[in-house]
Structure 1
Amino acid sequence: MSIPSDNPILMARDFGPDAVCLAVGEGEIVALGGSCDEAFLRALSGADPAWPGGLWLKGEPLHTLRPAARLRFAHAQCAVAPRVGKLLPELTVLENTALPLILTGLGRQEARRRAVRWLERLDAVGCAEWRVAELTPAETRRVALARALVLDPAVLLAEDPTEGLSPAERFHLLRILRAACGTHGLTIVVASDDADVIGWADRRIEVKVAAAAPAAEAAPEPADVPVAAPITDPAAMINHPARSIPHRIGRHARGEHRFSAVGSGAERGR
């Protein structure tokens, strides 16, 4: 269990299969060590209501909210930096960064203006009109972070933001994030065992997260239950498995006949 924060903005209690307990203070930078991954960070952001336990974000008990309300609140307050592969290669850097704003209904011009602002803060505005394939690994990391921060969240969660970068590139990225934390009151939670990240963070919390259980395989259909094939020939209806379903033939306004199941479609509610 982590040292409780005096002013927690994000708190988990008996969270997940391993009953994780942690508290992150507002404006704090915390490094999570151990087996944390992006799936755990998404759950910690409140985006996945399937995880058991208590979860509080800005004092709001997310575990008591309905899934839709929980998801809306989590998306407004938390951002999980996408993996590099989640950037869309067919879009420019600027379009990738502005996309989350456009999906919320914001106008394209305002979305592009805000995207440029975050690209400037993360030292990536020089490649705004480039495609993802033209970026270096360090530039790609900064663009992924800009895309996560463009919604101005209170909490940023990221998995291994410095993975694959040179020492100079790691130092540059961490310096930029530290500046964003100070100027915007941003709280940052990173899952990383990188010594540079651990030294950069205000605090390190060792977290053990169990691997997710494999999804149960779907039960095979009984062999004696026939699967209805599409009807391409009206004569095939004679021996079709669905012949026992009651149907009604109605006349369309233009004189054609319409064949529909009773109680489906327009029949509902009558």
Structure 2
Amino acid sequence: MSIVTPSEARPPAIVARGLHKHYGTAHALRGVDVEITRGEIVAIMGPSGSGKSTLLHSLAGVIAPDAGEVRVGDTVISALDEAGRARFRLTRLGFMFQFGQLLPELTAEDNVALPLMLAGMKRKSALVQAHEWLDRLELAGFAKRLPAELSGGQAQRVALSRALVTSPEVLFADEPTGALDSLTAEKVMQTLTEVVRTTGTTLILVTHDGRVASYSDREIFIRDGLVLDPAAAGAR
């Protein structure tokens, strides 16, 4: 069993114990324990097929582990059914993906407002909050644009606005700069880390890029479904 604990004694945002996940005969996670503190920025790293995305998705409640427990705040999300996990993700978690995954038929403002409207907020109120985040991320002039009319960096900042508009406890980012050139990636990471530190949001990101990981407080290295001791991790 592999155990990762935070370096500082802050309240935990996520505690996972004994996580196992199989895909057919493939053992993606092999008894992983992880604890991540509130406000911490953690990078999950490892080679392709190591289990890093499976770990991220388990921590976020996107998938249910075959064994083990995931607690986010005061909720054991691994004990929820699929519908319960979906409601939890919508109201308490945020997500940012490699290609943004903005809906192409919606403007930037509607993409950002969408999570609020799905949670039951009226469009007018949701747009007010969406514009607050677009303004904060220097996108005020792009609110009416479709995703196809945005640059890669602009689209990722819209995706970040959408991820944060619900004031999530934890933001999950899966290769958030993977589709960007190095200069744009650095700007996005600077914005991302500045915003989460200002808001106190916990950030968990998956990356294979050491430059992206350097923005984190701590790195978790995973290989063959096991978390490695940082001192022994040559898994960059």
TM-score normalised according to structure 2 size: 0.79
Instruction: Compute the displacement of 1:88 (Å).
Output: 1.4
User: Do the aligned residues in 1 keep the contact of 2:99 with 2:176 (CA within 8 Å)?
Assistant: no
Give the root-mean-square deviation of aligned CA atoms: 2.2
State the identity as a percent.
Answer: 34
SS of the equivalent of 2:18 reads strand
The aligned counterpart of 1:2 is 4
User: Do the aligned residues in 2 keep the contact of 1:160 with 1:190 (CA within 8 Å)?
Assistant: yes
Instruction: Compute the displacement of 1:40 (Å).
Output: 4.2
The aligned counterpart of 1:90 is 105
Instruction: Compute the displacement of 1:66 (Å).
Output: 4.5
Match for 2:207 among 173, 192, 197? 192
Distance in 1, Cα, partners of 2:165 & 2:12 = 23
Match for 2:193 among 178, 181, 184? 178
Q: After the TM superposition, which of the residue ranges 66-75 and 49-58 deviates more from structure 2?
A: 66-75
Instruction: Compute the displacement of 1:82 (Å).
Output: 4.0
Distance in 2, Cα, partners of 1:27 & 1:169 = 25
Specify which structure has the higher proportion of strand: 2
Q: Say yes or no: does 1:33 pair with 2:23.
A: no
User: Do the aligned residues in 1 keep the contact of 2:4 with 2:33 (CA within 8 Å)?
Assistant: yes
What pairs up with 1:70-219 in 2 under 5 angstroms? Answer: 70-84=85-99, 86-208=101-223
Letter in 1 for 2:43: A
4+ residue segments displaced more than 6 Å: none
SS of the equivalent of 1:147 reads helix
Instruction: Compute the displacement of 1:43 (Å).
Output: 2.5
The aligned counterpart of 2:19 is 15
Unaligned runs of 5+ in 1: 211-270
Instruction: Compute the displacement of 1:16 (Å).
Output: 2.9
Instruction: Compute the displacement of 1:154 (Å).
Output: 0.8
Q: Deviations over 1:222-267 (max 9, x none)?
A: xxxxxxxxxxxxxxxxxxxxxxxxxxxxxxxxxxxxxxxxxxxxxx
Letter in 2 for 1:190: L
Distance in 2, Cα, partners of 1:137 & 1:38 = 22
Q: After the TM superposition, which of the residue ranges 158-167 and 107-116 deviates more from structure 2?
A: 158-167
Distance in 2, Cα, partners of 1:82 & 1:198 = 16
Q: After the TM superposition, which of the residue ranges 10-19 and 81-90 deviates more from structure 2?
A: 81-90
Distance in 1, Cα, partners of 2:32 & 2:52 = 14
Instruction: Compute the displacement of 1:167 (Å).
Output: 3.1
User: Do the aligned residues in 2 keep the contact of 1:28 with 1:202 (CA within 8 Å)?
Assistant: yes
User: Do the aligned residues in 2 keep the contact of 1:49 with 1:63 (CA within 8 Å)?
Assistant: yes
User: Do the aligned residues in 2 keep the contact of 1:121 with 1:180 (CA within 8 Å)?
Assistant: no
The aligned counterpart of 2:60 is 45
SS of the equivalent of 1:179 reads helix
User: Do the aligned residues in 2 keep the contact of 1:82 with 1:145 (CA within 8 Å)?
Assistant: no
Aligned residues: 210
Q: Deviations over 1:210-230 (max 9, x none)?
A: 5xxxxxxxxxxxxxxxxxxxx
What pairs up with 1:202-241 in 2 under 5 angstroms? Answer: 202-208=217-223
Change (3 A) 1:204 1:85: closer
Unaligned runs of 5+ in 2: 22-28, 226-236
